[in-house]
Amino acid sequence: MRAVDTWNGLGIRTKLAILIEVAMLVVGAVTGVIATTRQRAMLEDELRRRGFAIANDLAAFAVRPTLDADLATLRRFVNRTKSQDYVRYVSLLDPDGLVVMHSDLRQIGTRLRDPLTKRALASPVTGYSTPPEEEGVEPFYQIFAPVTAAGSRLGTVVLGYSRSAVETEVAEARNQILLIGLVAALLAGALAYLLSSYISVPIARIAAAMQAGSLDDVRLPLPAGRTDEIGVLAASFNRMAHDLSQHRRHLEDLVAARTSELRGANAQLEQEVVERTRAEEELQVSREQLRSLASHLQSVREQERADIAREVHDELGQALTALKMDVHWIDQRAGAVPGVRDKSRAMSDTIDTTVQAVRRISSELRPKLLDDLGLSAAIEWQAREFEERSGIQCDVRSEPEDIVLDPATTTALFRIFQETFTNVARHADASRVDVALRRGDGEVEMTVTDDGKGITGEQASNAGSLGIVGMRERAYALGGSLQVSGGAGGGTTVRVRIPA
């Protein structure tokens, strides 16, 4: 009974606040438990899919250096893969289980015979194993992916992918849910306050207006749709305020009649000022709209290139792989049929050539390295491709070795780099190109210098040089700048700075 008496003695505002707070806490607790359980399952699945993607990418990139026995490139790919989140170790095994490359160089040359490694070597597809958990050892997935070329297995990529990230993200999700529950509780208290204010605010407004002695200043009528005492009081106050407002408007009309001539004299001058200001604003808006449109078109173009590259790589790559397998099947079953085996092998060579063309076209549209391994790796790869095609020596330096930027800045710098190399190939008549990437002091700087015949100041500032104009607009859209300098016989330097 004492609790009932205490409850009955509370005010309406306090009762509403308690009821809403209790309801929000119950709903928040139930929602938090359900969300945490589902979040854990989703995070484990997402973690494995991320590990599969990393392993598949490394397996694809390792084909060429594995065939060429290029251990330096394999080590660079392994180290970059190791630097990604949650990757604890990376190894590349040959078909017999010999460690060809490892993020821990001490493991190179060892031969692994454990059951998990045997399962990875025997699997024709990407998969994972869950090693038994040991006390004091971070739990992880052992993710593996085959390295194949032309239907032959060159080796196996094995990653140690941390599972502790799931617990970390679940803890973060739990904290977020608690924070949301706290915010909801605060909002519930605010709601209770607003409901109580619904009763007291009209009376306070009437009292304030009466004390000020200016009822005609009330711009909005008080709510009078209620039938209680507050509604009757509000209706009476509204009638009184309406009468006073009528008198005030009459006086304002008299003043307006006396000042109409002055307004007419000023109207023409104001109109001229407004028109001039509007013209200047429209011109500025047009310039900004053109820049925004150009930036948008660049973004759309990049997205379309990425979509086309992905479709070409995925669809045509899968189709060519299937054709390769079918031709191999025919070759195995041709027997002694005259000409069939030679024809199947010729078809296999044609398919290999087409696969290389598909990879080249996909890389030219949107290099996969740009999204997977970052700007530094993509520029180094593009420079090597350019060096092979043109015979022009290229040197790339990056400080630090791996520069991580947001996607817009990464794409802009890479496209400026590509346009610069295109100009070198077309106009510079150079024998060497030096590329320097540097991040520091709140910005990222890229410098491309060639030893060609050099660009003149008139050519660099010519509005018809659409390539240079496009590079400047890319840098300007991100708040950066681009400078092109050179001289006759002194080579050309392109320097771009963008806030990081």
Whether the domain at 13-168 and the domain at 373-499 fall into the same CATH topology: no
Digitized pLDDT (tens) for each residue of the chain, 500 residues in all: 677 777 766 655 566 567 666 776 777 677 777 777 777 778 778 878 888 888 888 888 888 888 888 888 889 988 898 888 888 889 999 988 899 899 888 988 899 888 888 888 888 999 888 888 777 777 888 899 999 988 888 899 999 888 776 677 767 777 777 777 677 767 766 776 666 666 555 655 666 655 555 544 555 555 555 666 666 666 776 777 777 777 777 777 877 887 877 777 777 788 888 888 887 887 776 666 555 655 555 555 655 655 565 566 556 666 667 676 766 677 676 666 667 767 777 777 777 777 666 666 655 655 665 666 777 888 888 888 888 888 888 998 988 888 878 877 888 888 888 888 888 888 878 889 999 988 888 888 989 988 888 887 777 776 666 778 788 888 888 888 888 888 766 788 999 988 87
Cα 67 to Cα 51, 71, 147, 150, distances in angstroms: 24, 10, 11, 12
Rounded-to-integer distance, Cα 431 and Cα 305, Å: 31
The pLDDT score that the predictor gives to residue 156 is 92
pTM of the complete model: 0.38
The pLDDT score that the predictor gives to residue 313 is 56
Rounded-to-integer distance, Cα 267 and Cα 317, Å: 71
Using only the alpha carbons of the chain, give its radius of gyration. 36
Domain 373-499 CATH (choose: 3.30.70.260, 2.60.120.260, 1.10.10.10, 3.30.565.10):
3.30.565.10
What class does CATH assign to 13-168? alpha beta
Query: Domain locations in the chain?
Result: 13-168, 373-499
Contacts 24+ apart (CB under 8 A), 117-120: 117/93, 117/158, 119/144, 120/93, 120/144, 120/156, 120/158
143, 134 Cβ separation under 8 angstroms = no
Rounded-to-integer distance, Cα 420 and Cα 452, Å: 13
The pLDDT score that the predictor gives to residue 456 is 78
Q: Give the side-chain half-sphere CA count within 13 A for 116.
A: 15
N residues, the chain: 500
Cα 486 to Cα 111, 383, 447, 453, 455, distances in angstroms: 56, 21, 13, 9, 5
Residue 260: count of CB within 10 angstroms of its CB: 8
The pLDDT score that the predictor gives to residue 198 is 63
Phi, psi of 153 (to 5 degrees): -90, 120
